[in-house]
Amino acid sequence: MEGDLEVPQGSTLVAGFDLTMPGGHPSATVSFLSPAVSFAATCASGTAGSATIEITIPDTSYVVDAGSSDWYPSGDQHDASTYQGSAVVPTFCDPGALVRLQFGGTFSTWITSTDTQDALHVRWHYSGGGAGGWSATYNVTPS
């Protein structure tokens, strides 16, 4: 991911995720409920000021074909479909100062699936204008 990112006030941050269900499994509908990415932001110039930036992502579902190990909506971090939410960086620092996302972000969501036996792999990313590399891949068995 972009990690310790510095972005201009008023710019747009984007974030999103993808998933795969490896191995032999039945067709499944996987739903992400209330997905969001949260950032603790400070002024990069060292002046006083901080804010929480929240990127909300609409609830979404994907139909994973039986036995498919494809990434949904895409395994390509450059694909716009993997950035499902955005937020404008608030203005809270001195004029012209950059906002620092020193500690990266936190991705949260509820995941449900019609297949409660097989695990999913989920990863997420964010960007302030670049490609935004993927996080580690998390192994989740949804309910």
| pLDDT per residue as tens digits for the range 35-62 | 999 999 999 987 888 999 999 999 999 9
Residue 143 within any structural domain of the chain: no
pTM for this entry: 0.91
| Whether residue 112 has pLDDT greater than 90 | yes
CA dihedral 83, 55, 52, 135 (to 10 degrees): -40
| Whether residue 90 has pLDDT greater than 60 | yes
Residue 107 within any structural domain of the chain: yes
What total of structural domains would you count in the chain? 1
Residue 118 within any structural domain of the chain: yes
Q: Residue 131: its pLDDT value, please?
A: 63
Quote the domain boundaries for residue 28.
Answer: 5-138
Residue 127 within any structural domain of the chain: yes
Tell me the torsion sign for CA atoms 94, 98, 99, 102. Answer: negative
Residue type at position 22: P
